[in-house]
């Protein structure tokens, strides 16, 4: 079962490896992004950042297959971009929780910071809204589990997105 999907363009880092994985109680951290999964250097380096945790790096389709083959494993999925998460949801993946973590601005895009750690364009805002539809109408962002969660849709509206 996918316990938690986190959208975080930093992928695996200290907050994820220590705080989030333990808070979720996951057996595995799975990075899910087609480009990352096809980059042999990232596939080699990402497990090093997870301090001994089981780390898998999959394309969207590989994750779907893995989830079907391992239904009883508690999985923590990290999507690099909101579009990765939406593709999973559109292909039938279910998750107990979806959280927007850090999304740094992409140079050359017309982005707005919706809070201290999430940059979004109009296209990103539309993607977040679609994710929220799949997620019972809500979506939250939270940098670490001990900090308060913020409603992504409220933050998008405040930013005019």
5: helix, strand or coil: strand
30: helix, strand or coil: strand
Instruction: Write the CA distances from 76 to 21, 111, 119, 121, integer angstroms.
Output: 7, 28, 23, 26
Categorise residue 92: left if φ over 0, alpha if ψ from -120 to 50, beta otherwise: left
Tell me if 82 sits within 8 A of 130, measured CB to CB. no
Contact residues for 154 (Cβ-Cβ < 8 A; gap 6+): none
| Among the listed residues 113, 112, 140, the one whose alpha carbon sits nearest the alpha carbon of residue 128 | 140
Q: Is 4 a catalytic residue?
A: no
Using only C-alpha atoms, what is the Rg of the chain? 15
Q: Which of 1, 3, 11, 13 is catalytic?
A: 13
**Could you list the active site residues?**
13
């Amino acid at each position: 079962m996918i316990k938690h999907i986190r959208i975080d363009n930093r992928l695996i880092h200290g907050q994820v490896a220590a705080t989030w994985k333990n808070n979720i109680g996951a057996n595995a951290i799975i990075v899910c992004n087609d480009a990352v999964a096809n980059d042999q250097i990232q596939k080699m380096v990402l497990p090093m950042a997870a301090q001994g945790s089981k780390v898998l790096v999959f394309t969207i389709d590989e994750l779907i297959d893995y989830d079907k083959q391992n239904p009883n494993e508690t999985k923590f999925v990290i999507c690099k971009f909101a579009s990765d998460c939406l593709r999973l949801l559109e292909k039938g993946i279910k998750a107990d929780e979806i959280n927007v973590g850090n999304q740094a601005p992409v140079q050359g895009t017309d982005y707005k910071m919706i809070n201290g750690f999430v940059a979004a364009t109009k296209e990103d805002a539309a993607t977040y809204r679609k994710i929220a539809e799949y997620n019972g109408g809500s979506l939250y962002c939270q940098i670490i589990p001990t900090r308060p969660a913020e409603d992504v849709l409220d933050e998008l509206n405040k930013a005019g997105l």
